[in-house]
Structures are given as structure tokens and as C-alpha cells.
Structure 1
Amino acid sequence: MPKKTRAKRTEIDWNLFVHQPDTQVNSDHAEATKQNLKHIERNFRKSLTNNARFTQRLDPPDAQTWLKNITLRVVEGFLRWYLDNHNVEYQSTFLVFARYFRMYWCEEMRREFSYDLRRKMTMLVCTTLTDEYELDLGGKTQPSVNIDDLLYSTYHLLAVCDIAFPTFRCQGQLSTLRKMMTSTSARPGTLVESSGYMRSNDALKWKDIELYMVKNPDNPTCQVLLMRVTHRLNKGKRNKGVPPVFIYTERNDNLGLCVIQDILEYAFLDNAFASERIKCPRDIWNLTEVPEHRLSTTIHFKEAVKEIPIFRRAVKNGGGLWITDPRRALNFGTALEYEKSTSISAGSKQKGTFYKYRKGAAANLRHLDEHSRNVIMGHQRSGTFAYYVSVRDDTQSAFMETPARDALLKLACNSSLTRDASAPQHLTEPQRRSLEKDKELDQLKRECQALRNDLIAEFHQLNKAKCADAGRYNAFLILQRRVKARRKKIHDEAKERVRNEFFENIGNHIIDQNYQGTSVKFQPDTSHIQPERKQLAELEFKNRDVDNIDDAELIEDRIRSLELRLRLHGLHVPKSLRKRVKFESMPAIKTEPQPFPMKSVTGLECPVCLGVTDIHPTAKQFRYSRKNGLQKHFRTHKLPQMFPNGRQCDIPGCSEVLFRLPEYMLHQAECHKIIL
């Protein structure tokens, strides 16, 4: 490539140049640091909302004045105000907040923070404020996981968990995140959209994946899949320097733990393969034979998808149905909610966060040299590694000079020690009713109902009040949100309290039952799980010795697994039906569902669900027990009053086009005997 010619520059008067004012130099903080500094600014200065922040309560209410005349008293007032208005639990968390305040002050004042004031500020946080606000001096602990925990949680998520995910892909992505974090010790922000980089849409993308069919060095006649994944978004080095590359190989002993199988599934869903010849799972193995003069066949991805994140969020389309967003990355907050919900469903005593998988991976890296650990985990200092691992050596046996009891030690150091799937996951109906008597909730409900009655009495309809008196109507909406928030808060606290009481007393309960001669038994209810999910779990979790199995059988299992996975994306069960539909014993998977008659026998099926293609046939033709139940469900689809372009009747086989919702409902009643 020829060297670019440098553009000719005009002659500069250097004497004039050096006498000009200094150039304004911007800080080079990472995006996450900038977000934290903005958080400080929002709390110190006037808020973007109507809620007054700290300096708005002072005289004069000018933030710049107080920044210029900073004193320990001003700092203490701001820190106390923040503690009064935010739920701060740990001292270490608040010390970080105080450090960001100093950084914010330096950015605004363009000079260093006073050393004496900084020292007094730290002492204030560590002594007076810690004592008065009872800040926890410890740190957040994560339950460590090992391969047994990962195997259990992956199987439970597929075959037992009844959490209602928006789409089946959301459920699969959670499983893939767990497997990738335990395999590489990656932080969650390396794989999904980090909370410190919101709206950046930067996560693991198709351009970070390299997929190959290679000759197995141990058996050159056998071909296996191999994948290289580049971690561009490591903490402190996001899109900078030389990123680490991790290798994934086929896992035929347990297909449920194979990350390559997951990536192939997403590639088919996204139509990501560059070759037009790859149209079904069988083509992956039939058309990628490695030439004799090569060691691999590269499986390319389309240029059009390389900038698209692999892990993506679920959104509602125009018809109110959940779909996978074509471009927007899955954010950390949503993924964390999925993780906590499924951890509770699996019976974990501590829900933890995604970092428990990173901690579990770190435990198996402790015997590597310091440099290798830092490269794999993305650490700059070797001492950081000590925070991730606990004592995992049998010190008792070492002193007694006896063989280490590794199996018991492995059990004692991981979350499976206290896991119990029988732990309560929901509140009972009497418990729910008792929470409605909460004084604050009751007062909010009374205020909300009184304002609603006044608006209806004056304007007859809430919609009219919205236009005639926007101020009072907005106050009514705010009260509704406060009622909802208060109810959710006390429900979450009650559920957490019930779970804690269960784990604190489960040992005594087991002892009492054994004393009475009645052993404690638990059988999970899987009647709400699609039989296809159970069939897939049975295929993928065989835990077999692949050395004793023919390669052709292994390939057929992988193909069948991919076919089942892709089919499950079209067999979704809506959240509203998840607890209602009970599947019978596993039937054979039918290629075509039974056709629905043009005139309903019972009139209790939802016509909109009947027209959706990616719903399980059993859920699609679900019959509600009463008409009001059907009508309540129909309203959840939120169909508009008018269909400008017309809406074809959703009943399969009916070609009638309708333009108004009342016309649509009348058509269902007259032609299909479904009264909505």
C-alpha cells in the first residue's frame, strides 16, 4: 500500500502560538466513570425531574457557589443527605461514592482536591457516618459454583424451571451466559450490554466469533467443531489493545453444556451463515468436510450481521407479542433479573449475581502462574485474585498427613451444599391478603381512590379528566405508581423473609420428620413444562463417555439437538397461560397441529392466539373455563379500535378482512361462535 502524502500545512507563527491561552483538554475517563460522575452531578445539582436535590435546599441554591467554597461541613451535609435518600448498605460502596464526589469536584474546579480535606472526609465516612447509619463493614459475598452446580442449574432451567420468559431465546441466552462465564471467567459486561455503558449497544457480537470445522489431531479421520471468541470488552481495556481470545471445543458428553451448540442455534435463528448452502443443522456436518491439504474449514458469518449482538433483548411487536429485537443488545439489568428468578426457582439459598460463575471459574485457576491468571481474568494486579477464591485445600488432611478428601471439600465450598428446590418461591394467598393491611399501602390506596372518585364525579370519565385537568390526572397516575411500588416492595421483602426463615429452620424440620419416622420428600411439578423441552433435556444431558460411542451417533445427536432447539422457538407458551396449561405425558412431536374448526364448539378459545404461529398448539387452542376469563385475556392483546390497513381474521382458514375492533368482535361471534 503506498504511503499517504501528508497534507501541506500553513506556516505557523510559533511565538504567537505559545502566547495564546492553553488548549481545553478533556478528561479521558471511561464511559462507566462518566456515568458515575453524572450520577453525582444529578444528586448535587438540580434534578432533571421535579425532585429537589441537595443544593436546591440550600441558600443560595447555586451549586457552583458551594463547590467553590467547599468545606467539610458542606461535604458532610451532602453525604448525610444522600444516605437519608438512598439505600446504602456497605461502607465500601459509600467510600466509592465519596471518591467519585471528589473526582466530580476536581472536574468542575479544574484543580486538585485538598489533601487535608480528603483525609478528613475519609475519616468521616469510616467513623461517624458508618456508626450512625450502621453501614456494613463486610462485603458482598457470592456463592461459588462448580461443574455440579452448573450441570444442575442448566438442566433445571431447561426441564423443570417454570419461570415465564418472554421468548424461548431469552431462556437459552441465560444458559449460554452461565456456560461462557464459567468457561472463561468473563465478567457479564464483556458478554452483554454493561450497566455502565447503557445505550451503547456494545456487547459480544458476531464479529467476535470464529467458527471452524477442524481435523481432530488425536484422530485425523474425525472432524470436530472449534470456536474462537474474542473478548473485546474486558474491564479497563474495552476496545483497546490486544484482547484475549478463548477457545471452545465440542462437548459431546453433555450437549447441554456445549457453547458451540448454542452459537449454532443463534446463527440459524439470525440467518447469520454467509454460505447460502447452509440451510439446516445437517448441512453443518455434510458440507464442511476439510480438504486434505488443510487442517480446517472456516464457517463464515455474513458481513451484515457482524455488528449485531448475539445476546439480544425481547421486545413487543405491533400486535403486542414478544419477539427478539433484531439489533438491540440484552442489557445487564434484565439478564440479572432472569438469573435471580431462576436461582430462586432452582432452590439456591443465596441468589447471588453473575459474578458467582466468575468466582467458580477463578477457583479452578488458582494453581496457574500469576501472569496466566491475570490474562485470563483481566486483572492488572495479582492481589485482586485473592478476593475471588476462598480456602479450597484440605488443611486438616495436610496436617494429619492423610490423603485429601477432595469430594467432600468440593461439596463444602459450593452453593449446592444448601440448595433445596422445595424452598418457597411465592407467597400464599393468606400472606398476600395480610400484606394489603400495611399502613402505608392502605393510606396510599385511600388517597388514590379518593382522587379517582373526585375526577370521575367531576368529569364522568378518566379520559376526559386527562384533557380537562392534566395536573390532577398526573397526580392520580403518580399515586397509582406509588401504590404499585409500595406493594411490590413489601411483597419482595415478605418473600425474602419467608425464604430466609425456611433455610434457617429446614434442618430442624428434617430432624423432626425423621424422628417421627416420616422422611422429607419433594417432587417438582413439571406438568406445565412443554414435553419438547423434556425431550431435549433427555437428549442433551446423558453424561456419557464419548470415547466409547461411535462418531456417527454423536453427530446425529448434535443434529437432532439443534433441530429440537429450533423447533422450540416456535412452541412458546405465553406468560398468561404458563400456569394454566398442563401438558399430559410426553407425546410424540407432531409435524402439523390439529386444525381448528371454523365454528368453535365451546366458544372459549382466544382468536388472536389461534392466529399466532409460534405458540405451542396446546396453548394456542387453550379453552378458558368461563367467558369473563377469555374476555380478560383478550384485552391483554390491546388491539386498536381501528385497523387502517385492515386485519384479516385470526382464525386459521378464514380470509375475512376487518377494519374496526367492534366489527372484528362481531365477526368472531357470528361466524366462529366466540363471544368477546
Structure 2
Amino acid sequence: MDYFNSEDSLTDDMLSDIEDDFQVSLRNDVDICRKIREVETGDTIKHALKGKSKKIADYVWKQWCQYSKGMEKADPLQHLKEMDKIEERCFLRWRLETGRMTKLSSVLVSSRHLRMMYKHQLGERLHIPGIDDVKEFIRVEMKNLHDLEESTDVKDVANADDMFLLLCHHWKQSETIFPIERCRIQLSLYILLACATGSRPSLFIDREDCLKYKDLILSKVRDPNQPTGQKLLLMLDNRLQKGQKNESEPIAYVLMEVDSPLAFDIVSHVVALAFDDDAFDSKHIRKPEDLFVDEIPKDMDSLELNWKDSIRDTPLIRRAIRTPRGPEISRSQAEVYDTINTQVRNLGQEVGFVNWTKLYIFRRGAGEAMDPRVGERIISDARRNRALGHGSSEVFNQFYTSRFAPDIQSAFLGRPSDQQLYQLATHMRLRRNPRAKIEVQKKMEGWKCEDDEYLELDIRYQNLRRKLLGRPIIGSKYKAKLEELKRKRDAIKVRCKKQAHREAWKSFFAHSGTLEIERQRCGVVEKSSDGLLNSDFSKEREILARCLFQQPLETDTAGDRRKKRLECISAMISLCRQRDNLPKVARRSRRLSDLVSPKQYSSGGENCCIAGDMDYTLYQLILDI
């Protein structure tokens, strides 16, 4: 307001507003002057980091403090300020000597993390002349001295066919046990959301903040192909984009109904979870059929289905917790990264993919779908970068461009490329073998840890345990030492078993073609189980396995398609609260001695078949039964 040019006299309210504006300006000036003085006097202003980056920087800082203590430096921060090229080399070598890094790429990443920690602690970049010399030192001297591996993991890309294989096995054949069956629906929903949005896993599964009901807008709209019909439309706001969490205008995704197959329909999964959470605000919406009872007003294009105020801050994908009544879904705790990552990895092994399935395969697949050089869709670089959360196109070109060259052979010969064969060759399903997991498990049955460090710790543990046996007074004194020995020994065993499993997996696929030829020549031809339904599952699981992958008929009307969708949603709602969906045959054949203990599962044992929360294992489930 222009107070001084006004013809009216200044009122008391105007004077009060002027005084408030002056006080705000004064406070801002004081803050600015304080920051300037801090810079001039040499006080440190930390560079702000968030999320995983801050955790990494804090971890590297702890490592640096330990390193400074070993170097007999009293002040780690002052030691960091004095760091030069030689000091950086010494720190990296110290991390190699005291850590478990075995790959060259891991050391290069460690060097980047050190520089990120430096910027976080001191508020400025690390300016050391000869940064290329440090990289050359890592690639040559440290590689030869510590025998570092140069191999890098292949970054697989999932397309629609790969996703179909995962979901088909997940619903029709997988015998993976979840603490509560809602986790099965949540896993399917995560795969679909990751492929449809291309978002990072932290959007859906994060301890601090993640996708909540307030980020979803569910509406009914008119069917363009049938004016009297209705369709559900879901809007998803991504306010958790990396580097811009809750700070800028969120990127929005439009998710529509998918009829063929229904397994790809995100809207049905979200609606089922919403009914399970009693999330709809209207008292007239209590079952799936109620969604389509009310009409859309003629003067409106949509009718929004609002959420309850009490549910808006509730995460959509939540973890299972253990209660006196059995496993239940937490009302406030989101699912954790490690749990979903383990579930996806086990599912990929059951399907038989060559490389271990990781969460980022879906994000890379969505990025490939938005690449104007692949497919027929024309999407500008600016819109693709905003959807994926990239600052520039360089990130996409460096990390998301396919490692496969285009079909140069057909281009040179002037012939059209066979896109079906090219898509098969450039994605995950080309070399898959459904028998891989069973064959590798057979090979691992007689495995024993022969690591020298493990054997030494095992001998020390057994000797100390025998000495303390029957001596409660002495035993209580050395109990912590005994548990520490056991923890170190078991950690080495888990790591060695994991490495042995990886080697067995690679060895199987290195000779899988030869083994299959031998099987056929010997007359051992098994009927493929791909796509066949396991008849021992619950009624709801059988309905979903049948309806989700059923191809619609040409004679199906819009009413028929809606009826099938409502049937799937109802089955999902009923399935959400089931706690034990283990097939009867598998339950009878499974012995308690074959099960893994809770400690083995939480430490990442390879034979663990539980895909749910670590607090509730198959071991405890059988004991409760």
C-alpha cells in the first residue's frame, strides 16, 4: 500500500503495518549481517544436504574423524581444512585397508563422497589442483596394489513385457510368504507406479516422507467413448522430487484405467487399498459398487472422491508390524527400501532373470519409454527432465541411454528393422530361465563356509563358549565378548554365502544352454509352468490370478469391463487382511528345521523366502500356528 502518497491521513492500523514491515526488514538485515560476519571471521557455514546425501556425508565424516584420530590429529575439522592431494590418497587407502571395498568403481565413488562431505562440513568445494592425478592414482596404483575388480554391474532396463512376466509370476505362481497379504498388493502397486511415473524409489518408500493420500486425487469422469459411462481418473503429485522436496511446484502424473490386462491397472490397486484403509470421506461409499452410483453433474466435468481428513497424512504403501493379534499393517510407518528391494530381487530370481533385479530397472524403463530416439512418442527433453527430476539432459544421456547400439545392420542394408526381435534382445527376458533358482538352491545345499577368517573366529568362539559353560559368574562378565565374536563370525558367513550364491548363479547361466540341450537329448522334457495357476492358493488369490490376466472379449461392453474391475477390487479388499496364504502342500512339506531364524533373515540370508517385514519371519509364523 502506498501510505505516503495517499490523500487520507495515516490511521493507527496503517502505522501499525508500517512498524511491522520495518521490524521484519530489520530482522532480515540482522540475519544477513550475521552471515556476512560469520564468513569474514572464518566461522563455518555448512552446505545443506537432505535425505540420503546427508546420511552419506555424515557417515563419511565419522570415518574421517576415526582416520584423524589414527593420524594423531586433535581437531578433525582443522585436519579436513588442511587436506591436500596426498591426504586424500592416504584416506582412500585407509578406507581400503579397514573396509570391504573390492571394486574400482567403489573407490571412485568413495572419492566423490569425500568431496561431498568436505563441501557439507566447510561450505565450499574442495579445490585441490590435480584432481585427475587422484583418479589416475586410483585407477592404476590402487588397483594394482589392492587387486581391485574393474567389472561393473549391468544396468538392466525393464519394458512392458518384463513387467508382465514379473506380475504374472507374482500373482499366479509365487509361493513367497508375506506377513499379511496386503504386502503382496503393495508390491504389485509399487512395480506399476515405478513404471508409470519413472520416479525414484524414495517417492513410495522412505522412512521420513513418502507418497501419502494427500498426494492422490481420485475423480470420476465421463467416458469419452460412451457419454453415459464413467471412468476413474487418478492424479498423483510428486512433491518429493530429489533436491526439491516440498519446495517447488510438484510434478503431476495422470493415471488412467487400464482394461487389458487388469494387472496393469494402477487405479484398481489404489482403490482397493483405500477401501481397506476406510479412506473415503463420503459415508455412502462403503463398497466398490458405490463408486459408480452417483452421477456427474451436467455443469461439471468430474466428481472428486475425497479422502477423510484423518487419512490424508497416511502413507499409501506401509510396512507390516508384529502385534499381539498377529501381523498387521502399520497406520503410520511407510514401507522401507530394503524390504521392497528384497521382494523385487526374490521375484526376479523366481522368474529366472540373469542379473539380480533391482528397483531402478523400472525407472530406467520409464526413461527409455520417454526417449524420443526409441518408439514413436515425441517428448521434449524439458518435459522428460522434469518428469525424471533431472537438472539437464546430460544426466539422461550419461546414465539412462541404452547400452545397446541401434540396429546398424538393417540400416546399412537399407531394410526395415525387426522391432520385436530387437526389443527381445535388448531387455531382460531374453536369457531368463525359470529353473535357475531351483538348480542354484540344489547346488548350495551342501555349502560350507571355508573362509580363513571365519574359521579362526569360529574356533575362538567355540573355545570361549566351552570355557564359560557352567560358570555363570564368569560367563556374565564375558557375555558381551562372546556375542561380539558370534556377530562377527555370522557376518562373515553371510557375506561369503552371498558371494557363493552369486557365483553359482553366474555359473548356471554360463552353461544353461548346454544343460538344456542335454536334458532334451536325454528325454527329460518338463512341461513349462509359466502362466499356470497354483491351485493351492486362497479363493481371492485364484480370482485375482484369473481376472487380472484375462484378455477382454470383442463382445465385452463397458458394463462387462466394469464388472470385471469391480470383481478384482473386491477380491483385493478381501485379500488385504489374510495373514497366511502359504499353499497347503508347501505347508506340509516344510520342516521347522529348514526355516531360517529371525536373526538369519535380518542379516540377509540367501535362503530366506520371506518377502515381508523383518520383524515377522516364517519361523515365528509357524511357531504361532
TM > 0.5: yes
Question: Cα offset for 1:300?
Answer: 0.3
Residue in structure 2 matched with residue 317 of structure 1 by the alignment: 323
**What amino acid is the match of 2:489?**
V
Q: Using a 3 Å threshold, how does the CA distance of structure 1 residues 378 and 428 change in structure 2: closer, same or farther?
A: closer
Distance of 2:621 and 2:270 partners within structure 1: 36
Amino acid at match of 2:53: T
| 8 Å CA contact 2:352, 2:433 repeated in 1 | yes
Match in the other structure for 1:419: 432
Q: Which residue of 2 aligns with 1:142?
A: 155
Change (3 A) 1:441 1:263: same
Q: Name the structure 1 match of 2:493.
A: 487
Moved more, 179-188 or 98-107: 98-107
Q: Identify which range, 70-79 or 181-190, moves more after superposition.
A: 70-79
Structure 2 match to 1:605: none
Q: Match of 2:605?
A: none
Counterpart in 1 of 2:391?
380
Distance 1:268 1:426, change over 3 A: farther
Deviations 1:572-609 (A, max 9, x none): 327798932489xxxxxxxxxxxxxxxxxxxxxxxxxx
155, 162, 166: which one pairs with 1:153?
166
Query: Take 1:22 and 1:574, find their aligned partners in 2: how far apart are those partners?
Result: 62
Tell me, yes or no, if the aligned pair for 1:528 and 1:581 is still in contact at 8 Å.
no
- SS of 2:384's partner is helix
For the structure 1 residues 522 and 111, does the alpha-carbon distance in structure 2 shift closer, same or farther, using more than 3 Å as the test?
A: closer
Question: Cα offset for 1:530?
Answer: 3.5
Which residue does the alignment assign to 1:79? 92
Q: Give the structure 2 partner of residue 614 of structure 1.
A: none
8 Å contact from structure 1 (residues 313, 329) kept in 2 = yes
| Structure 1 CA distance for aligned equivalents of residues 98 and 83 of structure 2 | 22
TM-score, normalising length from structure 1?
0.76
Q: Which residue of 2 aligns with 1:281?
A: 288
* Distance (Å, rounded) in 2 between the aligned partners of 1:500 and 1:388: 25
How far did 1:418 drift?
A: 0.9
Letter in 1 for 2:52: A
- Residue 107 (structure 1) shift: 4.8
Deviation digits for residues 3-52 of structure 1, max 9, x if unmatched?
9946265697999x97994476443333333222111111111xxxxxxx
Deviations 1:269-289 (A, max 9, x none): 111111111111111122x32
Whichever residue aligns with residue 497 of structure 2, its letter is H
Question: 1:306 aligned to 276, 287, 312, which one?
Answer: 312
Asked whether the 8 Å contact 2:223–2:229 carries over to 1, the reply is yes
The aligned counterpart of 2:366 is: 361
How far residue 379 of structure 1 moved from its aligned partner, in angstroms, is: 1.7
**1:270 is the counterpart of 2:277:** yes
1:568 corresponds, among 575, 596, 606, to 575
> Retained in 1: the 8 A contact 2:182–2:577?
no
Change (3 A) 1:377 1:578: farther
- Displacement after TM superposition at 1:240 (Å): 2.1
Letter in 1 for 2:381: E
2:44 paired with 1:37: no
| Match in the other structure for 1:592 | none
Is the aligned partner of 1:334 residue 2:346?
no
2:416 to 396, 399, 403: 403
Equivalent in 533, 540, 547 of residue 539 of structure 1: 547
Instruction: Please tell me the residue identity of whatever aligns with 1:36.
Output: I
Q: 1:577 to 1:457 in 2, by over 3 A?
A: farther
Alignment-mate amino acid for residue 362 of structure 1: G
Q: Please identify which structure carries the higher helix content.
A: 2
CA–CA distance in 2 between the matches of 1:152 and 1:86?
38
What letter is aligned with 2:181?
A: F
* Residue-by-residue CA offset, 1:43-102 (whole Å, 9 max, x unaligned): 111xxxxxxx32232234653453354343332221111122333355444333223323
Match status 1:389 vs 2:401: yes
Equivalent in the alignment of 2:142: 129
Answer yes or no: is the 8 Å Cα contact 1:313–1:325 preserved in 2: yes
SS at match of 1:435: coil
SS of residue paired to 1:298 = strand
User: Does structure 1 conserve the Cα–Cα contact (< 8 Å) formed by 2:197 and 2:253?
Assistant: yes
Q: Percent identity?
A: 22
Distance 2:49 2:450 in 1: 49
Q: What is the correspondence of 1:67-216 to structure 2 with a 5 Å cutoff?
A: 67-108=80-121, 113-116=126-129, 118-136=131-149, 139-193=152-206, 199-200=207-208, 202-216=209-223
Q: Number of aligned residue pairs: give it.
A: 566
Partner of 2:599: none
Q: For residues 184 and 71 of structure 1, do their structure 2 counterparts lie closer, same or farther at Cα, with a shift above 3 Å needed?
A: closer
Q: Report deviation, 1:469.
A: 5.6
Q: Partner letter of residue 372 of structure 1?
A: R
Could you tell which deviates more after superposition, 36-45 or 65-74? 65-74
Q: Secondary structure at the match of 2:285?
A: coil
Local SS of the residue matching 1:580: helix
Deviation at 1:261, TM superposition (A): 0.5
Alpha carbons of structure 1 residues 518 and 498: separation in structure 2 relative to 1, 3 Å: same
Using the TM superposition, name which of 73-82 and 60-69 deviates more.
Answer: 60-69
SS of equivalent to 2:333: strand
Which residue identity is paired with 2:417?
A: A
How far 1:436 moved relative to its partner? Answer: 5.2
- Letter matched to residue 327 of structure 1: S
Shift of 1:356: 0.8
Give the whole-Å Cα distance in 2 for the aligned partners of 1:304 and 1:293: 30
Which aligned runs of 4 or more in structure 1 are off by greater than 6 angstroms?
Answer: 10-15, 17-20, 574-578, 632-635
Query: In 1, distance between residues paired with 2:476 and 2:622?
Result: 26
Question: For residues 191 and 544 of structure 1, do their structure 2 counterparts lie closer, same or farther at Cα, with a shift above 3 Å needed?
Answer: same
1:222-301 mapped onto 2 (5 Å cutoff): 222-286=229-293, 288-301=294-307
- Whether 1:370 and 2:370 are equivalent positions in the alignment is no
* Map of 1:595 onto structure 2: none
Q: Residues 192 and 331 of structure 1 are in contact (CA less than 8 Å); yes or no, is this contact kept in structure 2?
A: yes
SS at 2:587 equivalent: coil
Structure 2 counterpart of 1:475: 481
Alignment partners' CA distance in 2, 1:394 and 1:107: 46
Structure 2 unmatched runs, 5+: 1-12, 373-378, 591-618
Alpha-carbon deviation of 1:150? 0.9
Contact 1:233 1:239 in 2 (8 A): yes
The 3-state SS of whatever aligns with 2:437 is coil
430, 448, 473: which one pairs with 1:435? 448
**Paired residues of 1:344 and 1:351 also in contact (CA < 8 A):** yes
Question: For residues 306-338 of structure 1, what are the alpha-carbon distances to aligned partners after superposition, in whole Å with 9 as ceiling and x for unaligned?
Answer: 11111111111135x322111011122221111
What is the identity, as a one-letter code, of the residue corresponding to 2:329?
T
Looking at both structures, which has the greater relative contact order when contacts are Cα pairs under 8 Å and sequence separation is at least 6? 2
Q: Distance in 2 between matches of 1:100 and 1:438?
A: 31
**For residue 258 of structure 2, what is the amino acid of its counterpart?**
R
Q: Residue 97 and residue 519 in structure 1: after superposition, are their counterparts in 2 closer, same or farther (change >3 A)?
A: same
Partner Cα separation in structure 1 for residue 254 and residue 33 of structure 2: 53
Over 3 Å counting, the alpha-carbon distance change for 1:519 and 1:178 in structure 2 is same
Shift in Å at residue 442 of structure 1?
Answer: 4.2
Equivalent position amino acid for 1:303 in 2: D
What residue number does 2:601 align with?
none
Contact 2:92/2:110 (<8 A) preserved:
no
The structural deviation recorded for 1:189 is 1.6
Asked if 2 retains the 8 angstrom alpha-carbon contact of 1:167 and 1:572, the reply is yes
Q: Which moved more, 1:551-560 or 1:529-538?
A: 529-538
Classify 1:89/1:173 alpha carbon distance in 2 versus 1 (closer, same or farther; 3 Å).
Answer: farther
- Partner of 2:434, secondary structure, is coil
**Displacement, 1:228?**
0.6
Question: Unmatched 5+ residue regions in structure 1?
Answer: 46-52, 194-198, 460-464, 584-631, 638-649, 651-676
1:54 aligns with 2:62: no
Q: 2:161, 2:226 → 1: CA distance?
A: 29
| Equivalent residues of 1:162, 1:528 under 8 A apart | no
